[in-house]
Structure 1
Amino acid sequence: MSALYLGFVFILPIEYAGLPRGMMGKIILESTITCPKCGYVKTETMPEDACQWFYECVNCHYLLKPLKGDCCVFCSYSTISCPPIQCRENC
């Protein structure tokens, strides 16, 4: 990993900002979410313009909530961050 140091700011390669290399500017809407209680995995489509605060596992019906410091359940439990975070916007 190489980072560019500009004063007090480090600029990291794009793969460390939540997007795979080559995906800058492209929003990924499908993400695989994993239930922390039963381990059930499902691919879901994320909302484009909002953060999803709750998600009910279709297997065990556990209600997922964001972990402290995360804006939504996708940022906490899925493979891809939510669209607002991918765009580097506030939720």
Structure 2
Amino acid sequence: MSSLPVLNVGFSNIVFASKILAILQAESAGAKRLRLEAKESSRLIDATQGRKTRSVLVLDSGHIVLSAIRPDSLAKRLENGDNSFGKEDEEEE
């Protein structure tokens, strides 16, 4: 069985790494606009578990994923191939 590269975006929610186009700071004007447009067109996926949104992932399908993990932490996970699932999600934020 082959292992597809995935990114843990927090709280055991995963996204296929090959589908990610961009990881943005949640507070940037562009990310806020993308978030609003995605919500209006039912393309918004909230993976924050009620926590503060820290990053916005843009997928090749046009969907927008909200994550409670900082963009730099997600980038490190992508670079290191770290797709582990554990308590670090809850403790990191």
Q: TM-score of the superposition, structure 1-length normalised?
A: 0.25
Bigger share in helix: 2
**Bigger RCO of structures 1 and 2 (CA < 8 A, at least 6 apart):** 2
Which structure would you say has the larger Rg? Answer: 1
Q: TM-score of the superposition, structure 2-length normalised?
A: 0.25
